[in-house]
């Protein structure tokens, strides 16, 4: 597993990262979210060894991550970058060789990944002649070319159309299923929620929440319920102590229960008003958790 331990990094007087720690488990899809400028790219660059931290360390499989271990990482920088004038297969083989593959294996890997990602027809083309979508595929192939043991992807979904995003998600899920930890940052929180087992939320270089998405939801102190009572409006809930009506929707009321309020007592009041079709906890979306984290963090 990958551990970030107490990473701190300053640029002059600006603190880009402040004691950042979290852990990505084997085979886990891990979402890394935070507002622009929160320090996600800095953290990823430190994992890759492109930047040095002022304090803290990155550990991989229980040991400090060294150059040898880093060569086993697949990386996609936020600012995409490949050689525009180089041919696709040559380019991928080059990156494979930089990661230590011999010439034959590098060629084979380039063939395999261009095939897998649907750009086999462009192997002999210069990158600049490809459409942006296909360039993205080549970029992904460059990250996967050396069969990495760990994937670190900075905003891999940005700029992809829905089809491209689905294809990427599929490949990442496949790698995760093979035991590869996949750490990626994204602004698309619905997508992170759908794909990831765990997330880390950082604001201004500090971690405000990290862990499995379910646990983050459960850890929320406030309890939001949706209550659907047939044939009545929200009048029954008005005036109940410790109960706040957040919204009246077609599918019922959204009510927030305060500390110490017994949900069964609320259910009794609802049944008294009419037949209850639905009574249950509304699980906050990651987007809601994120907004709260950003506001309070």
Partner 1 sequence: MSAWVAIRTVARREYVERVRDRTFLISTGVVVFILVVITVLPSLFGAGDRPSWKVALVGQASAPLAGVLPAAGQALGADLGTVSLPDRASAEARLRSEGDGGKVDLAVVDGDQLVALRTPDGDLVAAVAAATRELRLRAALTRAGASPEAVSAALTPPRLTVATLEPAGSDSAETAARFGSFLLYFQLITYGSWVAGGVVEEKASRVVELILAAIRPSQLLAGKIIGIGLLGLTQLMLLAAVGFAAATAFGVVDVPASLLGPIAAVLVWFVLGYAFWASAWAVAGAIVSRQEELQNTSTPLVLVMVAGFVVAVMVGDDPGSLAARIASFVPPVAPLVMPLRMAAGQAAVWEVAASMLVIVAATVALVPLAARIYAGAVLRTGGRVRLRQVLRETRGRTRASAGSPG
Nearest residue (CB) to partner 1, 66 versus 251: 66
Enter the DSSP assignment of 128.
Answer: G
By rule CB under 8 A, what count of residues binds partner 1?
Answer: 37
Q: Number of C-alpha atoms within 13 angstroms, CB side, residue 267?
A: 9
Q: How many Cα atoms occupy the beta-carbon half-sphere of 22 within 13 Å?
A: 25
Cα(159)–Cα(181) distance, rounded to whole angstroms?
Answer: 23
39 is a site residue for partner 1 (CB under 8 A): yes
16 touching partner 1, by CB under 8 A:
yes
Please give the structure tokens belonging to residue 205. Answer: 């270089």
Spatial separation of the C-alpha atoms in residues 220 and 226, rounded to whole Å: 16
Which of 58, 89, 99, 138 touches partner 1 (CB under 8 A)?
99
Note whether 84 binds partner 1 by CB under 8 A: yes
Q: What is the largest CA-CA distance in the chain?
A: 76
Interacting positions 131-190 with partner 1 (CB under 8 A): 142
The set of residues, in sequence order, having a beta carbon less than 8 Å from that of 40 and lying 6+ positions away, is 32, 33, 34, 154, 185, 202
Which of 100, 118, 179, 275 touches partner 1 (CB under 8 A)? 100
Give the residue with the Cβ less far from partner 1, 42 or 134.
Answer: 42
CB of 27 to partner 1, least distance (A): 22
**Sign of the C-alpha dihedral, residues 272, 277, 283, 284?**
negative
Q: Which CB atom, from 75 or from 236, has the smaller least distance to partner 1?
A: 75
| 142/198 with CB nearer partner 1 | 142
Q: What does the radius of gyration of the chain's CA atoms come to, in whole angstroms?
A: 24
Task: Give the shortest CB-247-to-partner 1 separation in angstroms.
Answer: 37
Q: Which of 10/283 has CB closer to partner 1?
A: 10
Using DSSP, state whether 140 is helix, strand or coil: helix
Residue number with CB closer to partner 1 (99 or 123): 99
Q: Kindly tell me the sign of the dihedral angle through the C-alpha atoms of 196, 199, 201, 206.
A: negative
Contact call for residue 51 and partner 1 (CB under 8 A): yes
Site residues (vs partner 1, CB under 8 A) = 11, 14, 16, 37, 39-42, 45, 48-52, 67, 70-71, 73, 75, 77-86, 90, 94-95, 97-100, 142
């Amino acid at each position: 597993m990958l551990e970030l331990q107490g990473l701190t990094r300053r640029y002059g007087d600006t603190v880009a990262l402040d004691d950042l720690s979290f852990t990505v488990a084997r085979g886990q899809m891990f979402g890394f979210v935070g507002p622009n400028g929160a320090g996600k790219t800095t953290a990823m660059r430190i994992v890759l060894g492109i930047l040095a931290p002022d304090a803290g360390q990155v550990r991989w499989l229980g040991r400090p991550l060294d150059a040898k271990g880093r060569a086993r990482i697949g990386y996609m920088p936020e600012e995409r970058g490949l050689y525009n004038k180089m041919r696709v297969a040559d380019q991928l083989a080059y990156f494979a060789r930089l990661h230590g593959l011999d010439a034959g294996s590098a060629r084979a890997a380039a063939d395999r990944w261009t095939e897998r990602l649907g750009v086999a027809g462009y192997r002999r083309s210069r990158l600049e002649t490809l459409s942006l979508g296909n360039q993205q595929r080549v970029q992904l192939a460059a990250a996967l070319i050396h069969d990495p043991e760990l994937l670190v992807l900075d905003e891999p979904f940005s700029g992809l159309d829905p089809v491209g995003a689905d294809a990427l998600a599929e490949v990442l899920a496949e790698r995760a299923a093979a035991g590869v930890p996949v750490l990626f940052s994204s602004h698309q929180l619905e997508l992170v929620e759908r794909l990831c087992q765990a997330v880390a939320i950082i604001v201004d270089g500090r971690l405000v929440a990290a862990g499995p998405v379910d646990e983050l939801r459960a850890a929320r102190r406030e309890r939001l319920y949706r209550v659907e009572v047939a044939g009545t409006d929200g009048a029954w809930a008005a005036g109940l102590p410790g109960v706040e009506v957040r919204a009246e929707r077609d599918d019922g009321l959204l009510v927030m229960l305060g500390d110490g309020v017994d949900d069964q007592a609320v259910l009794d009041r609802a049944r008294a008003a009419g037949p209850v079709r639905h009574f249950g906890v509304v699980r906050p979306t990651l987007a809601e958790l994120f907004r709260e984290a950003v506001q309070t963090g």
